[in-house]
Structure 1
Amino acid sequence: MLNVQDVLSSYESSTEEIKLEWPINEVRETIKKHKSVEKIKETSPNEFTRYCSDESISRYLRARNWNVKKAVKMLEASLIWRMNYKPEEILWAETGKIYRASYTDKSGRVVLVMRPSFQNSTSTRTQVKYLVYCMENAILNLGCDQEQMIWLIDFHGFSLSNISIKSTKETAYILQEQYPERLGLAILYNPPKFFEPFYKIVKPFLEPKTANKVKFVYSNDQNTKTIMESLFCMDELESAFGGKVDESFDIKKYAERMTEDDAKRTVLYGRETCSDPNINPNHTSKTIDTDSVTEADEEKISTNDQKTNGS
């Protein structure tokens, strides 16, 4: 005997899938007709296919509140940006500012740990390029059932010299325009008092959906422990964030992890242009020298990026 409730649930599920399928297909068919993305379709067909997948398009639609026209514009801008910026060619460079944690949150989301006080470059372009690398690496390591990550930002040792409106604005642009719906939550851990007025200045750069994902957490706040315990296994979490792990960050071991990941990414992207089906997974492309770019170049690149902004 048929269960009426099961039938209704199945019908509602099917109806919902049909509702989602229409705008996704509309975006995909529209973007395929745009001449502006012809080059990436020809030179990087796998890249184009990945960004025109149901999962990818749905992120762009969610970022634009399911407005097909705006999602198409945003996706087109991202494809053009990737074609020009070439994030797949960026390899790991030694730095302690951002790294992918060896643990995930309780939902299995990748965790990027950020320590602004460890910044070792004054070049905004270099900083942004490394952020792009970290985003690409985090996405590479996402589980099959995950599409978002957690940012854990440690403000220990943070000073006024670490504040930069320009780099913050560029970070917001990259996160929101090129990696929509990839951020699950950003935890600002123990930010100093002088950071709060700075955040009020830069908050307008954030879209409301992104701003709502930013959480201020303080170790001397009673609610902090509850927040962190709800998100993480405290036996795996670093002591800097209230966890029980005292082991310090080992950059040599991390370099080995990143070298392995770079080899995976080389294979992932390299198969598109390599005729040899048995491509050597240890092959790596040339490292981009981001430190050789002048401030004048940065301004030019920043201006060009903003012209392709899909918002």
Structure 2
Amino acid sequence: MSSASSVNNSDGKEAALFEQQLSKIGEVRAALGQLSGKAALYCSDASIARYLVARNWDVKKATKMLKKTLKWRSEYKPDEIRWDEIANEAATGKIYRTDYFDKSGRSILVMRPGVQNTKKAKGQIRYLVYCMENAILNLPHDQSQMVWLIDFAGFNLSHISLHVTKLTADVLQGHYPERLGVAILYNAPKFFESFWKIASPILEPKTFNKVKFVYPDRPETNKIMEDLFNMEQLESAFGGKNQATFNINDYAARMREDDTKMPLFWSPENSALASEPYVMVNKDKAQEATSSNGVELTSLPGEGKGITSAD
């Protein structure tokens, strides 16, 4: 077969797969029935596709998952959380959105569990949700995912909470599917490995596979940072050259400004949100999401890798 024929054949398969996926998006939309208000805005083709990808393009499972999110959003009202409600949670900079993006244009949430300043899981999760909504608000039009950059400086055994970890996983996986591009666990202490072995089964394989451990004394993992980030912009705490540190007053001003944008983002006039199109990023990724029943999981350095069926 000539190279031209191979390309044409490949393009044809990709086009057929794209049409198949569009058809499944239509099936989910039909199963949801008539939507109005924010629910209609939320259920763009791209949003529905994220739920389908999370459930390996199983229409029934994706529809069930999306219905749960719509119910959650109508009751929890994540887009209506405002800075002044959660400002006390943010005081130490335990989670904040950077003012720069990664090389792919993804929003970055820095997380510093070592400066946890509250004890109630309810407030901690509400602040996480606020940060997720804010990160999505600030995504460029051609990007749908974010990066979690987790700094373990100052982290000790008292900061470990399986309960909060489970609640975090439930929110991320259940209501923000395919929003996480990669999670960098930076310089995790040795004792964290034991906790990770206990906590990792909470994560779905698709999420677990996005977790990368990086250690500043291991050049092979530092390359992950260089590949993902502009080192001139990246904070020095993560091996970058940016000497800036978190300032609560500056950050509060940024968040209050973003709070004024949120109602516009969720207004019926924002047709761009409702009409966000589904774009098949690449055929290999799409085919894997459509047909693969297993994924290889990322392990801690020195551990073996295992195969786990995707949920």
- The TM-score normalised by the length of structure 1 is 0.80
Give the equivalent residue in structure 2 for 1:25: 26
* 2:108 counterpart SS class: strand
**One-letter amino acid matched to 1:31:** L
Which residue is equivalent to 2:146?
Answer: 149
Q: What's the offset of the Cα at 1:7? A: 5.7
1:191 aligned counterpart, secondary structure = coil
Alignment partner of 1:64 is 2:65: no
Structure 1 residue runs without a partner (length 5+):
34-40, 274-310
Residues 37-91 of structure 1, C-alpha deviations (whole Å, 9 max, x = no match): xxxx4xxx34212332110011000000011100000000000011111111211
Distance, in Å, in 2 between the alignment partners of 1:64 and 1:122 is: 34
Sequence identity of aligned pairs in percent?
Answer: 55
CA distance in 2, matches of 1:137, 1:114: 14
Deviations 1:208-254 (A, max 9, x none): 11111111111111213211101111000000000001111122111
Alignment of 1:101-120 (within 5 A): 101-120=98-117
2:132 is equivalent to residue 135 of structure 1? yes
| Distance (Å, rounded) in 2 between the aligned partners of 1:150 and 1:197 | 24
Matching residue of 1:74: 65
Show CA shifts across 1:118-151 (max 9, x none). Answer: 2111000000000000000001111111111000
Determine if the alignment matches structure 1 residue 123 to structure 2 residue 120: yes
For 1:187 and 1:224, the matched residues in 2 are separated by 10
Check whether the contact 1:50–1:56 (CA below 8 A) recurs between aligned residues.
no
Closer/same/farther in 2, CA of residues 9 and 199 from structure 1, 3 Å limit: closer
Contact kept in structure 2, 1:186 and 1:214, CA below 8 Å? yes
Aligned equivalent of 2:194, options 194, 197, 200: 197
- The alpha-carbon deviation at position 12 of structure 1 amounts to 3.8
Shift of residue 13 of structure 1? 4.3
Q: How many residues align?
A: 261
Query: Normalization by structure 2: what TM-score?
Result: 0.80
Paired letter, 1:30: A
Answer yes or no: is the 8 Å Cα contact 1:117–1:157 preserved in 2: yes
Q: Please give the alpha-carbon distance, in whole angstroms, between the structure 2 residues aligned to 1:178 and 1:5.
A: 40
One-letter amino acid of the structure 2 residue matched with residue 32 of structure 1: G
> Which runs of 5 or more residues in structure 2 are unaligned?
270-310
Which residue pairs with 2:78 in the alignment? Answer: 87
Q: Is the 1:151–1:183 contact (alpha carbons within 8 Å) kept by the matching residues of 2?
A: yes
2:23 and 2:264 map into 1 onto residues whose CA distance is 33
Provide the rounded CA distance (Å) in 1 between the counterparts of 2:221 and 2:7: 41
- Contact kept in structure 2, 1:101 and 1:113, CA below 8 Å: yes
Once the two structures are superposed, residues 156-192 of structure 1 have per-residue CA deviations (whole angstroms, 9 ceiling, x without a partner) of: 0001111101000000000000000100000000111
CA deviations on 1:104-125 (whole Å, 9 max, x unpaired) are: 1111111000001121110000
- Distance verdict in 2 for CA 1:217–1:6, change over 3 Å: closer
Native 8 Å contact 1:115 1:155 kept in 2: yes
C-alpha contact (below 8 Å) 2:106/2:145 kept by paired residues? yes
Alignment partner, residue 234 of structure 1: 231
Aligned letter for 2:16? T
For 1:260 and 1:9, the matched residues in 2 are separated by 47
TM alignment of 1:181-192, pairs within 5 A:
181-192=178-189
Aligned equivalents of 2:225, 2:265: Cα separation in 1: 35
RMSD: 1.8
2:211 aligned residue? 214
Cα distance in 1 for residues equivalent to 2:196 and 2:6: 49
Q: Which residue of structure 2 lines up, in the alignment, with residue 298 of structure 1? A: none
